[in-house]
């Protein structure tokens, strides 16, 4: 069972968290102005990369705050957690972490 570092509470057991899917998919400014296809892209389409993925997480059994994280979908490793109002980290900002079991 992983530890996930809530930006507000610190490291907590993964069972305290809920997954919220891909991050940085904002609600469209003018849904009425979108074509059906554009709207369907917002509603249904998400990336599914192998490797780094910016995701939304909710510390639902803790402080109940939402936050974003960059996680490697191949290793499950959280490489960065950040607040919703922080920009998405650039790949160059992320350290190449060693395969590990701690922290």
Q: Which is nearer to Zn ion, 19 or 45 (CB)?
A: 19
Q: Residues in the site for other proteins, rule: CB under 8 A?
A: 1-3, 11, 18, 20, 26-27, 31-32, 34, 36, 39-40, 42-44, 56, 58, 60, 64-66, 76, 84-85, 98-103
Q: Verify binding: residue 6, Zn ion, rule CB under 5 A.
A: yes
Q: Verify binding: residue 11, Zn ion, rule CB under 5 A.
A: no
Q: Report the distance separating Cα 59 and Cα 34, nearest Å.
A: 33
Least gap, CB of 43 to other proteins (angstroms): 5
Q: Report the distance separating Cα 46 and Cα 92, nearest Å.
A: 23
Distant-in-sequence contacts of 86-92, Cβ < 8 A, 24+ apart: 88/23, 88/24, 88/54, 89/54, 91/52
Q: Which is nearer to Zn ion, 9 or 43 (CB)?
A: 9
5, 58, 60, 62: which one contacts Zn ion (CB under 5 A)? 62
Using the 8-state DSSP alphabet, how is residue 75 labeled? T
Q: Report the distance separating Cα 52 and Cα 91, nearest Å.
A: 9
The residues that touch Zn ion, with contacts defined as CB under 5 A, are: 6, 8-9, 59, 62-63
């Amino acid at each position: 069972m992983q530890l996930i570092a809530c930006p507000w509470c610190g490291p907590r057991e993964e069972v305290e968290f809920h997954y919220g899917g891909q991050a940085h998919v904002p609600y469209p400014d003018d849904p009425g102005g979108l074509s059906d296809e554009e709207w369907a892209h917002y509603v249904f389409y998400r990336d599914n990369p192998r490797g780094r993925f910016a995701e939304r997480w909710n510390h639902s059994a803790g402080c109940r705050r939402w936050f974003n994280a960059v996680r490697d979908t191949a290793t499950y490793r959280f490489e960065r957690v950040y607040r919703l109002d922080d920009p998405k980290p650039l790949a160059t900002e992320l350290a190449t972490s060693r395969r590990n079991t701690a922290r």
